[in-house]
Amino acid sequence: MPTPQAHALPSTRKDIVIVGAGPSGLSLACALANSGLEVALVDQQAEAEIARPAMDGRDIAMTHLSQALLQRMRVWQRFAPAHIHPLHEATVQNGNSVYALHFERGDKDDAPLGYLVANHRIREALYAQANTLPNVTCYFESSVRAVDSNTQEATVTLANGMQIHAALVVAADSRFSATRRMMGIGARMRDYGRVMIVCNMAHTGDHRHTAQECFRYGRTCAILPLGSGESSIVITVPASRASALAALPPERFAQEVERMLDHRLGRMTLISERFSYPLVGAYANRLIGRRFALIGDAAVGMHPVTAHGYNLALRSVDTLARQITLAVKASRDIGSPWVLHPYEIRHQLTARPLYDATNLIVRVYTDDKPIAKLARSAALRIGNSLPPFKHWVTHGLTHTPSQTARQ
């Protein structure tokens, strides 16, 4: 009698599998353009949703380091100049006071503090670039059913049964990463109990290219300056109040925003949909596993108030891509601890202080108890009178290490 043959699953072999073709996964694929490695990029969405993403209301504030990294990936060059909005100054206000902590570039360079680009335009440019790379193969409408690894290789099994074998699997599948869980790595999740409503508005007043964060009592309002007479408006309220605010008729909503902003932008008109984001933070218990690494929000998903999420994701991409490139040059295994341990150490050192500082800001500036109100106000005044503090913040936004800027 013939021996029954196991039914062979369709399978393929690559060097790296990246799960998630969001901003982080696409950035890593672009960063590995000249690595000589074969990359598989897996996403549950259809190609059309990734190639031509719909507007999602997010305008991403980017540092000079992020600009340099995207330039090196040939992605920044794909943004139309009209879609890059410079941020010349930033202010932070507390409660009902008009007193503001103020940031501007202190050096002679007249370059801005940072830049704003719409999230859907970033995703579109990243995919357009990744799509030109012969070493990148995309698997769309493919969610991951299982991930496994041993000392020899890692294997990703897609929902349709196809298996991709590789030396390394990288999870970039959001702060709720299923791949992270499949690899047995937990995360400390933090539900802030608040919802961020974002939209674009036209206004008669001048935004003077100044980002403004106003920590009011019971809500936070932010202005992110776009083109002339237009800004991205970001309102954070307790979850219980969000649906009612998002459902107001456009004119009533505009009047409410004018009032929240003390009419500083004059007459306002809603010019986009309103998008609501329930705020949940995530910090993975480990950033690596056997032949496995986490990047982007799957590693550390920040509260958006300090605008660090994608900037930090690009740092994770840069750090991991450097380690992988070093391993290729040294003919080492790209999934080995020799690559992954330094990545974990370096990214923890970058991410942990930012994550903790952001959570501290959220905690202090959403506490409306009388003593906290005093502390909130004092913190801004102390910050304003501490030049080293202001220098440290602006340096973080504008500094580009020469090594990173190298092409």
* Spatial distance between the Cα atoms of 113 and 106, rounded to a whole number of angstroms: 10
Tally Cβ neighbours within 10 Å of residue 352. Answer: 12
Using only C-alpha atoms, the chain has a radius of gyration, in whole angstroms, of: 22
In whole angstroms, the minimum distance from the beta carbon of 170 to ligand FAD comes to 11
Q: Are 177 and 190 in contact (CB under 8 A)?
A: no
> What is the x/- site pattern for ligand FAD, positions 183-222, by CB under 6 A?
-------------x-x------------------------
Residue in 18, 32, 35, 58 binding ligand FAD, rule: CB under 6 A: 58
The site that binds ligand FAD (CB under 6 A) totals a number of residues, namely 34
Q: Which is nearer to ligand FAD, 35 or 232 (CB)?
A: 232
The answer to whether residue 157 forms part of the interface with ligand FAD (CB under 6 A) is: no
Q: Residue type at 386?
A: L
Q: Which is nearer to ligand FAD, 101 or 196 (CB)?
A: 196
Residue in 15, 124, 173, 318 binding ligand FAD, rule: CB under 6 A: 173
* Spatial distance between the Cα atoms of 65 and 397, rounded to a whole number of angstroms: 8
Q: Which is nearer to ligand FAD, 178 or 254 (CB)?
A: 178
Tally Cβ neighbours within 10 Å of residue 371. Answer: 8
The answer to whether residue 311 forms part of the interface with ligand FAD (CB under 6 A) is: yes
Q: Which two tokens stand for residue 88?
A: 């010349």
Residue in 15, 23, 76, 213 binding ligand FAD, rule: CB under 6 A: 23
Q: Which is nearer to ligand FAD, 121 or 327 (CB)?
A: 121
Which range touches ligand FAD (CB under 6 A), out of 14-22, 161-169, 206-214, 394-402?
Answer: 14-22
The answer to whether residue 53 forms part of the interface with ligand FAD (CB under 6 A) is: no
The answer to whether residue 149 forms part of the interface with ligand FAD (CB under 6 A) is: no
The answer to whether residue 289 forms part of the interface with ligand FAD (CB under 6 A) is: no
Q: Which is nearer to ligand FAD, 56 or 333 (CB)?
A: 56
Q: Which is nearer to ligand FAD, 313 or 334 (CB)?
A: 313
The answer to whether residue 19 forms part of the interface with ligand FAD (CB under 6 A) is: yes
Q: Which two tokens stand for residue 263?
A: 């009419």
Which range touches ligand FAD (CB under 6 A), out of 82-90, 95-103, 297-305, 376-384?
Answer: 297-305
* Spatial distance between the Cα atoms of 282 and 302, rounded to a whole number of angstroms: 7
* Spatial distance between the Cα atoms of 142 and 43, rounded to a whole number of angstroms: 6
* All residues at 6 or more sequence positions from 350 whose CB lies less than 8 Å from its CB, including other chains: 312, 315, 316, 319
Task: Count Cα atoms within 13 angstroms, Cβ side, for 133.
Answer: 28
In whole angstroms, the minimum distance from the beta carbon of 300 to ligand FAD comes to 9
The answer to whether residue 143 forms part of the interface with ligand FAD (CB under 6 A) is: yes
The answer to whether residue 42 forms part of the interface with ligand FAD (CB under 6 A) is: yes
What is the full DSSP assignment across 66-117? HHHHHHHTT-GGGS-GGG-EEE-EEEEEETT---EEEEE--SS----SEEEE
- Please give the torsion angle defined by the CA atoms of residues 26, 32, 33 and 38, in that order, rounded to the nearest 10 degrees: -100
Q: Which of 198, 204, 175 is nearest to 58 (CA)?
A: 198
* Residue listed under structure tokens 């009902």: 96
Q: Which is nearer to ligand FAD, 233 or 380 (CB)?
A: 233
The answer to whether residue 284 forms part of the interface with ligand FAD (CB under 6 A) is: no
The strand pair at 168-171 and 16-19 is best described as parallel
What residues does 11 pair with on adjacent strands?
163
Q: Which is nearer to ligand FAD, 336 or 348 (CB)?
A: 348
The residues of the shown chain that bind ligand FAD, judged by CB under 6 A, are 19-25, 42-45, 58, 60-61, 119, 143-144, 172-174, 178, 196, 198, 277, 296-298, 304, 307-311, 313
